[in-house]
Structure 1
Amino acid sequence: MGRLGWQLAELLYPAGVARALEHAWFRPPHGNGPDGAGRELLDRARADWALVTGQGASRRVRVYRWGNTGPTVLLAHGWGGHAAQWQPLVAPLLAAGMRVVAFDALSHGGSDAGARGAGQTSVVEMSHSLLATAWHAGPIHAVIAHSLGSAALALAVREGLHLQAAVMIGPPADMHTAASALAWRLGIGPGVLARMQRNSERWLGMPWSAFNVPAIGRARPVPPTLVIHDRQDKEVGWESGAAIAGAWPGAQLMATDGLGHRRVLHDAQVIARAVSFIHGAANAPGLAEATRRMQAQADA
């Protein structure tokens, strides 16, 4: 449906347009699966399952692990992503002495469908997937997240996930702002958007204001964080990353140019900076010994 079609439908049937917008907003894209290098990466992993409980039957999250020693780094993909997209980053992290864990969020990749079926999910379920993986494969030293995975990470931190470091790549700052941008592109007015927001809050179990990532950094302790965002990112504006870096105490901002929203994951300088940031946190005074104690307790 084009912009004019959405506008006409809004005039005739605003409740139906609100439901259609809700369905479109919470439908993850199902693009291409892992490429050859990504599939090879997953084939080399130790694969098992983490469980997400609540909202009915338990649901399985596919978990992949590489490496046997060192602090554990958890990789969280974005909306419509999958664990194999981290192929450029796994080897550098292993070379830096880290264990690496990645997962497919519910309704993504090889994981089970979420509570509303394979065609609908949310950042809340992505955060539950992250927390389930962290509990299953922990203790977790750091998380590197891309796009909406960064918002899922922020929700997990608000829920009590303790980390020594975090890296957010192309993170969205606020769900309402992003949804408003979609509504504007479609020609949908604020009244229908507000109706869609109220409808979704009933099953999300929380208000949309809870998804404001900068506000989380102002409200509770957050880990040392590196935010990486490209100035030409057309999917998530660079201003979002800058807002998060400005609000999270002590956060650092790395701005890139010309890498967009996805190619940034393959850039050698981005990878080096992310690994260096995580490695530096792992080798902070006293932290290495604390990490070893945590791992010994987990293995006992």
Structure 2
Amino acid sequence: MSAVDTSARTTPTPATAPSTGTARATRRRLAARARLAYVRGRLHVLGVVAPRRAGAEAFTLWCTLPGGTGRRKDFRPHAGEVVELAAPRGGRVVAESWGSGPVVYLVHGWGGWRGQLGAFVAPLVDAGYRVVAFDAPGHGDSDPSVLGPRRGTLVEVMEALEVVGAHFGDSAAVVAHSMGTTAASKVLSAGPLRTERLVLIAPNHDFAEILADFDRMLRLSPRVQGLLRGALEDFVGHALSDFDLAPLGADGQLPQTLVVHDRRDKETPFAVGHRVAESWPTATLVATDGLGHQRILRDEATIDLIVRDIAARPSALRPSS
């Protein structure tokens, strides 16, 4: 998980008469290539003369949130009721709710925010649920991460969900996207929050795979790779493999789960969602085609499928008539 722009590795296609937008995009790609080259060069030199400093800088890059406006899009139908809750490591976690009835939590991914999943709000409220979404530290309207502005960590996403869960209570469902799928699954497997239904949209890679991609992108030396991995495991207090999704639900202890993944997802391959669904005895896989990693969050047919799946299971949390 890094904010280093991997688009730098894509060579722009020349055009005889580029439009203003094309020229601007080309300049951005060239600037991204220059930034990546600088970072690689700096880490290479530090890896030779000051490897621990190189490891520390790689850790900071890993925890830096991605830029771009795509993850900041807002699909909420209207403002809900906002509460501010205390994060365990300091600062505020902002949560927002709509409607009444059994709770459904919406959990954003890496660099995202609660508005990204806003297209789920109205359909779930219409189906009789109270929808609760929140911003993890460093994301959206919540206070910065313990690591500072523009930073974030998986454990803080988990802690935010625990804090929000303690405030609003157990849920009929949790709908999570991308890295939020790991955060939600870890919290549910640990037990501080219970839910009757889990929906994983575009679940993320195993962290060994993400780390290997990060190491290759920055061309880190084996020594710096080891220092980075050690710093990450020291921070979270666990081996990185403890956060791999497929083993988390392999014992059948997690709730009934719907895995929704697009076959043309460029951020997390469809094979990842397929692997999770194959590994979890409680999981069912639904494939979409052509929605990618972000558009899937606002596709009406996909949202309708997910809402109907949640509503098809009568909630023990719903008062009997």
The two structures have a TM-score, normalised by structure 1, of 0.86
Give the aligned CA root-mean-square deviation in angstroms.
2.2
- Report what 1:234 is aligned to: 266
**Does 1:91 pair with 2:122?**
yes
Alignment of 1:26-41 (within 5 A): 26-32=63-69, 35=73, 38=76, 41=78
Q: Which residue of 1 aligns with 2:56?
A: 19
Q: CA shift at 1:51, angstroms?
A: 2.4
For 1:271 and 1:192, how far apart are their aligned partners in 2? 43
Matched residues in 2 for 1:249 and 1:193: separation? Answer: 35
Q: Does 1:111 align with 2:142?
A: yes
Q: Does 1:46 align with 2:81?
A: yes
**In 2, Cα distance between equivalents of 1:243 and 1:148:** 16
CA distance in 2, matches of 1:220, 1:18: 38
Change beyond 3 A, Cα 1:35–1:210: closer
Contact 2:251 2:280 in 1 (8 A): no
TM-score (normalizing by structure 2): 0.81
Percent identical: 33
Whole-angstrom distance in 1 between the partners of 2:273 and 2:221: 26
Q: Secondary structure at the match of 1:218?
A: coil
Which residue is 1:74 aligned to?
A: 105
Task: Give SS of 2:199's match.
Answer: strand
Q: Is the 8 A contact 1:175 1:208 kept in 2?
A: yes
Deviation at 1:125, TM superposition (A): 0.6
Larger Rg: 2
Residue 169 of structure 1, CA deviation: 0.6
**Match runs of 1:258-297 below 5 Å:** 258-281=290-313, 283=314, 288=315, 290-292=316-318
Look up the equivalent residue of 2:126 and give its one-letter code.
A
| Counterpart in the other structure of 1:207 | 239
Shift of 1:215: 1.2
Query: Aligned to 2:284, which of 249, 252, 256?
Result: 252
CA offsets per residue over residues 105-157 of structure 1, 9 Å max, x none? 11111111222222332111101111111111123111000111111001101
Deviation at 1:47, TM superposition (A): 0.5
3-state SS in 1 of match to 2:318: helix
Instruction: Answer yes or no: is the 8 Å Cα contact 2:75–2:119 preserved in 1.
Output: no
TM-aligned CA deviation for residue 4 of structure 1:
5.9
Q: Residue 185 of structure 1: CA displacement?
A: 2.5
Q: What amino acid is aligned across from residue 28 of structure 1 in structure 2?
A: L
Q: 1: distance between equivalents of 2:171 and 2:289?
A: 31
Return closer, same or farther for 1:22/1:219 CA change in 2, 3 Å cut-off: farther
Q: Following TM superposition, by how much is the alpha carbon of 1:16 offset from its aligned partner in structure 2, in angstroms? A: 3.1
Please list every run of 5 or more consecutive structure 1 residues that lacks an aligned counterpart in the other structure. Answer: 296-300
After TM superposition, the structure 1 stretch with the greater mean CA deviation from structure 2, 139-148 or 26-35, is 26-35
* Unmatched runs of 5 consecutive residues or more in structure 2: 1-35
Cα deviation digits, residues 219-273 of structure 1 (max 9, x gap): 4610100111112111112221111111121201111122111011111221111
Seen in structure 2, the aligned counterparts of structure 1 residues 74 and 4 have a Cα distance that, compared at 3 Å, is: closer
Give the stretch that moved more between structures: 183-192 or 97-106. 183-192
| CA apart distance, 1:191 | 3.9
Letter of the structure 1 residue corresponding to residue 268 of structure 2 = V
Deviates more, 1:81-90 or 1:216-225: 216-225
Distance change (3 Å), C-alpha of 1:131 and 1:36: closer
Partner residue, 1:298: none
Does the Cα contact within 8 Å between 1:173 and 1:243 map onto a contact in 2? Answer: no
